[in-house]
Amino acid sequence: KAGVTQTPRYLIKTRGQQVTLSCSPISGHRSVSWYQQTPGQGLQFLFEYFSETQRNKGNFPGRFSGRQFSNSRSEMNVSTLELGDSALYLCASSLVGVYAKDNEQFFGPGTRLTVL
Amino acid sequence: QKEVEQNSGPLSVPEGAIASLNCTYSDRVSQSFFWYRQYSGKSPELIMSIYSNGDKEDGRFTAQLNKASQYVSLLIRDSQPSDSATYLCAVNALRAGSYQLTFGKGTKLSVIP
């Protein structure tokens, strides 16, 4: 079974621009979560989508948004980019079910965003 | 603030030794506990999950959970240079109808040949 895929793998943008990142979950997985990873803050939760609905949101400004499509693929958007948005953006998918193991999260390779 | 704490390291162990990684968490409603391994420049890889008190063994890895002490650990036996990576402890809790994973900042492990 193919793993989580993310595109693009690398992005370079300038301040003020916007960016859209894409994530395709493992086949059959219905939940997609997004994380930002920086050396100083570690892995921080952005938001989680299930059945095209945002179920949870982390403590990030409204410039960070996302959506999920009917095939469970997800996108996240960052508008008005700031230098501090430079980070590795990771998505993770999970099956979602009644068993604890169904909620294990598996990560994609990430998108490395550099804001100049 | 729900927190997961780990020693940042680096933790250096000689090849063949046991590496012991520790993690504490603050949210008592936490239900599932995970260890991820992250090589430099790569994404986190799930290596162990544990859901109930006690030990869980998988090959050279043993995860230990003590909910009363809010403590999770990972033991790596017969450490190999290929185990050199950052190990992330993660805790899952049910919030607003869905599970939210909170990560520690990771412990960097270096296995010396």
Q: Tens digits of per-residue pLDDT, B9-58?
A: 899 999 999 999 999 999 888 889 999 999 999 999 999 999 999 999 99
Beta-carbon contacts of A41 under 8 Å, excluding residues fewer than 6 positions away, are: none
Which pLDDT score, from 0 to 100, does residue A98 have? 76
Q: Given A48, A90, A100, which is nearest B100 (Cβ)?
A: A48
CA torsion, ordered B24, B102, B73, B56, to nearest 10 deg:
140
Contact B32 A103 (CB under 8 A): yes
pLDDT for position A60: 96
B99 — pLDDT class (breaks 50, 70, 90): confident
Residue that wins the pLDDT comparison between B28 and B107? B107
- Flag whether pLDDT at A105 surpasses 70: yes
Q: How many CB atoms lie within 10 A of CB A69?
A: 12
Confidence (pLDDT) at B36:
98
What local confidence, expressed as pLDDT, does residue B28 receive?
A: 81
What is the model's pLDDT at position A83?
Answer: 97
Mutate to test the interface with B, among A95, A103, A106, A112 (most CBs of B within 10 A): A103
Measured between CB atoms, does A40 come within 8 Å of chain B?
A: no
pLDDT band at residue B1 using 50, 70 and 90 as cut-offs? low
Distance CA(A15)–CA(A32), nearest Å, equals 27
Least confident of A38-42, A44-48, B56-60: A38-42
